[in-house]
Amino acid sequence: MSTTFFQSYFNKINNSTGLVSEERLKKIADLVLATSSASKKIILVGNGGSAAMASHVAVDFTKASKIRAINFNEADLITCFANDYGYENWIVEALKAYADSGDTLFLISSSGQSANIIKGALQAKAMGLNVVALSGFSENNPLRKCADVELWVDSQEYNIVEMTHHIWLLSIVDYICEKKNMDSL
Domain ranges of the chain: 2-183
pLDDT surpasses 70 at 19: yes
Section 129-136 average pLDDT: 98
The per-residue pLDDT for 184 is 79
The per-residue pLDDT for 183 is 84
Alpha-carbon distance of 121 to 133, in angstroms, equals 9
Residues 37-74 pLDDT 10s: 999 999 999 999 999 999 999 999 999 999 999 999 99
Residues 65-89 pLDDT 10s: 999 999 999 999 999 999 999 999 9
Report the percent of the chain where pLDDT is more than 90.
Answer: 95
The per-residue pLDDT for 54 is 98
Alpha-carbon distance of 90 to 111, in angstroms, equals 18
Residues 169-182 pLDDT 10s: 999 999 999 998 88
For residue 49, give every residue at least 6 positions away whose Cβ sits within 8 Å of its Cβ, in sequence order, or none: 110, 158, 162
The per-residue pLDDT for 33 is 98
Average pLDDT in the chain: 96
The per-residue pLDDT for 129 is 98
Q: Is 105 helix (H, G, I), strand (E, B) or coil?
A: strand
Fold for 2-183, please state it: Rossmann fold (3.40.50)
- The β-bridge partners of 131 are 105
The per-residue pLDDT for 181 is 87
Section 164-169 average pLDDT: 98
Section 97-105 average pLDDT: 98
- The β-bridge partners of 152 are 135
The per-residue pLDDT for 63 is 97
Strands laid side by side in the 42-46 sheet: 69-71, 42-46, 104-109, 130-135, 149-152
The per-residue pLDDT for 2 is 57
| H or E stretch covering 150 | strand 149-152
Section 107-121 average pLDDT: 98
Nearest CA to 106 out of 44, 47, 50 is that of 44
**For residue 127, what pLDDT band results from cuts at 50, 70 and 90?**
very high
